A and B are shown apart, each in its own frame.
Chain A
């Protein structure tokens, strides 16, 4: 069973991402959660997720800082942003930092599937 770590400071958004994962057909995955990048680092170490889905704009440690911290540790696991901010400069920044994709909010289950299938297959 694969594990996805969902990192967002909003509880409702973590719930919505999880719901969209199920609606997109990812029924056989375990979802673990964290409320910011700092907690996310701990969850990555504890749960070894196959994919990290992270918000960008969070207190304590932003999604970008979280991703960069993982890469500095030599952690190369797939990482995607789920964020309301999807400008082209942010896509470039995300890609350069090592993100696999940047999924915009609001999203549909189809959007989630299109973003995740290439990464999880």
Chain B
């Protein structure tokens, strides 16, 4: 039996939120406030990262966060001394790993087989993706956005074979 599933059914926005929440807890412990959805918020001075999935499903995932959040996460993970600044390389490393972990977890939800690209972190704004699933989270005082969309031309839905629903 074959069923056509929309991306929103395969990877609902709340699942993206759960993945981010589990990642945050893994990084900073259960005491860290879990990011929660806040529709419409925009990160200030955004930086971000993207990663591509190819195979049974073809598309991309984009992460956008404020530069301040990226700096703060990198400083905490690298245990930078108070007042010291983190290097751009460390911020890029953290952005890349964040989108890599989310991408890897999302990939497991998609019809495959699929391959995951290497992440592409960027200290400039990364264009949001249209036509897919998106999520805006408040993490402490900062904003985190995730966008996931199929490549142009591959359509908004995915054919899943052998799924009995």
Contact = CB atoms under 8 A, between A and B. Distances in A.
B163 interface: no
A20 to B, nearest CB: 9
Contacts of B23: 105-106
A57 B77 contact: no
B22 A106 contact: yes
Interface in B102-119: 102-105, 107-108, 112-113, 116, 118
Interface in A3-26: 9-13, 15-16
A85 interface: yes
A57 B113 contact: no
Interface residues of A, number: 21
Contact of B94 (A12, A57, A107): A12
A13 B97 CA distance: 7
Given A12-B94, A104-B105, 18 more contacts: A10-B93, A10-B96, A10-B97, A12-B93, A15-B77, A15-B78, A16-B77, A57-B104, A84-B116, A85-B104, A87-B107, A87-B112, A89-B113, A105-B26, A106-B22, A106-B23, A106-B26, A108-B26
